[in-house]
Chain A
């Protein structure tokens, strides 16, 4: 069991477990409301572990754009920033359950106050399960701060360019296993690229493979690709400008999440994040990490089209 088949399947979990949860009067997770967070003097910032350039550690130092944003949020609340590392489960629903609203059954008192890099998507937010129950009623999504997208990098010594993904019918391309790029490249165009797809544990490993000339390109999230390009300068790797025909989700917004009983904490943090997006501080934060920044689509209706958008 335990297969990635269960990915995305929070439906069942939430039907199953939240009903059971509703039966349990004793919740073991600490109830850290805004007041309690401020009194305690620290904020547990939930971030994915080993996930450059978003959140990672180098020699014990916590780095990444999500970590820096977490620091700014903690600063804004007047408390200490404390990293809370999240090992990703098979889907976002699992991560929210394990680290925001319920706790993992192996560590029932370990919980993050907020979680970074949570997709901000109204369709997902209001999704219902097969019985009509809201699957995310335990969680509040707020504070969209960035828009992410897919990106290919390629080896100029092997490819003249990547006008379309069709070149990867003839040249090998690396992807992180069990991701949308993996699914896309192995199934698009009737599977014609399938045999050229090489699977790696993460985008960093795929870039190492490109250095070893195992692959001629790598597909991942734009920030991951830009981060690796910076780490592999001088190898003749560069960004491609191709589209992704047939790709269902080309761009998506990222924000934060808190437990539904901690809305006030969410409001206070949303104000900090919103200020940073509007003032340009957020774009600056990304620029400091050498990353492109796209403003969340959420702001298009509020502020008009993103001038720095692609």
Chain B
């Protein structure tokens, strides 16, 4: 800029204006520090490791009863359905996504809308499991999120104007995008949704400023990964080395393993951790073998997308136990040594503690009351299958008769589904939102698909108990002990937050935001938001006060797939509101 007084003055006032509007860029440092800073939330997981632990203790077990609503913001529109988003906060602005691929910026002090962006979705989208979105990413001056038609949209975070839109995959082939993107080392990291038959999961890194690909890593053995330099695609090795090692025939070409829940990042080991979905086809008898890397956790090098290690929770999955659930890094002391671990609560009902440096199995244990598909875990963490009526039969052997019904615990919706758990650095416990349900699976010889005879399985989900389905559990990763539990009548489907105030927050389909004592499980607070809660709570500090926010709006997979669970949830009303609560400053020291 030339040095004329007017220019300087203008620049200074523009800067002042920008500062007053809070238009600061979000940096890599901000993101890596997210778990330590209390005045912003600039990553999904409140830190790239995904612990969802806040060091704030102004709000605590003594004063949480004074938590009160500050404002509520309606997403509007006629369409509501499931609101599974986690809000982000930066410079007094909340950035949150909603169902039907909508995004909003909201003044975090008043609840007033700053901008709204509605993705234009094509008529033909066929999402399997509701029209949810789990959140966006902030980087530089961009807010970036994925849409149901498998595109990435980057908006100017201050104006909501589109900066770029990139197609990630073909929605007509069954691809979609519902997870929050991850920013690591200046790269935008995403997976894909779409368990439709025939897709292949992948993890991709892009330039956040342009959306251009930097690398791509398929999550099914046999597919080539690539890095991109100067517009050129360069081969970077086949996932798993070669095709056909753990898949028969050409089934690896359509192996599934969608990375639909996104991933976490561990700076200590410089690894991305992505979970992968179930293998295809659904009938496990057609694909003998482990079917790598389906139903697994995969550690990926953020620089070029190479796979460092993998851990498969359900080899040759025959129950639809996706392996997408988040892998959360945490350290613990044992025999005077720090163990660099990572934990995940799998769909299959087992909780796994892994060495995050190499993927070695440290220990695993059931975190649900009953598991029937496996009798336990081997030394290496692989399942000891229940060979007596544990695996659903092959409908091709059904001879036109309805096959024997196999009852499997947990149901395919999992001991834990998508909803993120939290880890408290204070208590050393994981807080796991889980569900107790089973499924009946039988061969269905009389079935049709697209005008043709077909063979498949029928199934129905059943609650395991009359009184409750959902269980919020405090789990000790060192011992497998269930330290406490809270039983909820309806299935739990929302995420969890833990704080240094000895609190654990989560929402329920009955409409409540609830807070529990992190050590004892005592319920200390509840507020009914008027619709089922399947979002994930966050907490932050603004103007010296501690705030809690959560998206509310009943939906997700349960009302679509819940089988006999329907009787429990059929009267829950839909909605679409972000609720924000604060602790009044005169209550901080209240006793």
Contact = CB atoms under 8 A, between A and B. Distances in A.
Interface in B183-201: 193-198
B562 A199 contact: no
B454 A8 contact: yes
A174 B455 CA distance: 18
B249 A194 contact: yes
A1 B322 contact: yes
A3 B248 CA distance: 19
B262 to A, nearest CB: 15
Interface in A167-194: 177-180, 182-184, 186-188, 191, 194
Interface stretch (B25-33, B107-115, B277-285, B469-477): B277-285
A8 B449 contact: yes
B395 A183 contact: yes
Given A3-B280, A5-B320, A15 B454 contact: no
A197 B250 contact: yes
B432 to A, nearest CB: 19
Given A3-B320, A106-B131, A130-B460, A180 B412 contact: no
Interface string B425-461: 0000000000000001000111111111111111111
A119 interface: yes
A15 B569 CA distance: 13
Contacts of B286: 182-183, 186-187, 191, 194
A7 B194 contact: no
B566 interface: yes
Contacts of A248: 398-400, 445, 453, 455
A249 interface: yes
Nearest to B412: A5
Interface in A81-132: 87-92, 95, 104-107, 117-119, 121, 123-124, 127, 129-131
B106 to A, nearest CB: 26
Given A1-B128, A3-B256, A199-B254, A183 B283 contact: yes
A148 interface: yes
A3 B195 contact: yes
A27 interface: no
A187 B198 contact: no
Nearest to A182: B281
A244 to B, nearest CB: 11
Nearest to A116: B451
A7 B446 contact: no
B413 interface: yes
Given A179-B454, A199-B198, A7 B562 contact: no
Given A4-B197, A199-B254, A119 B453 contact: yes
Contacts of B322: 1
Contacts of B561: 1, 6, 12-13, 16
B124 A1 contact: no
A7 to B, nearest CB: 5
Contacts of B397: 187
Contacts, number: 223
Contacts of B253: 199
A221 interface: yes
B448 A124 contact: yes
Contacts of A178: 197-198, 280-281, 449
Nearest to B562: A16
Nearest to A91: B449
Nearest to B249: A195
A227 B564 CA distance: 44
B248 A124 contact: no
A12 to B, nearest CB: 4
B81 interface: yes
A252 interface: yes
B195 A2 contact: yes
Given A105-B81, A180-B454, A199-B254, A15 B447 contact: no
A184 B281 contact: no
Contacts of A104: 126
A53 B521 CA distance: 62
A195 B456 CA distance: 21
B389 to A, nearest CB: 17
A299 interface: no
Contact of B570 (A4, A19, A246): A19
B288 interface: yes
A252 to B, nearest CB: 5
Interface in B382-401: 394-400
Contacts of A148: 451-452
Contacts of B460: 9, 11-12, 15, 129-130
A54 interface: yes
B566 A16 contact: yes
A38 interface: no
A3 B449 contact: no
B447 A91 contact: yes
B560 interface: yes
Looking at B194, B254, B322, B447, the one whose CB has the most chain A CB atoms below 10 A away is: B447
B123 interface: yes
B229 interface: no
A201 interface: yes
B563 A12 contact: yes
A32 interface: no
Contacts of B282: 3-7
Interface in A5-63: 5-9, 11-13, 15-17, 19-20, 23, 48, 51, 54
B126 A117 contact: no
Contact of B451 (A16, A54, A105): A54
Contact of B559 (A8, A20, A197, A252): A20
B490 interface: no
A130 B287 CA distance: 29
Given A20-B559, A130-B440, A4 B454 contact: no
Contacts of A48: 450-451
Interface string B548-588: 00000000010111111111001100000000000000000
B483 interface: no
Contact of B193 (A2, A11, A105, A199): A2
20 contacts: A2-B260, A4-B197, A4-B280, A5-B282, A6-B282, A7-B447, A7-B454, A12-B561, A15-B563, A87-B126, A104-B126, A106-B127, A124-B446, A124-B447, A177-B254, A184-B455, A186-B248, A187-B394, A187-B397, A188-B396
Given A87-B124, A177-B281, 11 more contacts: A1-B412, A1-B561, A5-B320, A7-B282, A7-B447, A8-B456, A15-B563, A16-B566, A183-B286, A187-B286, A248-B400
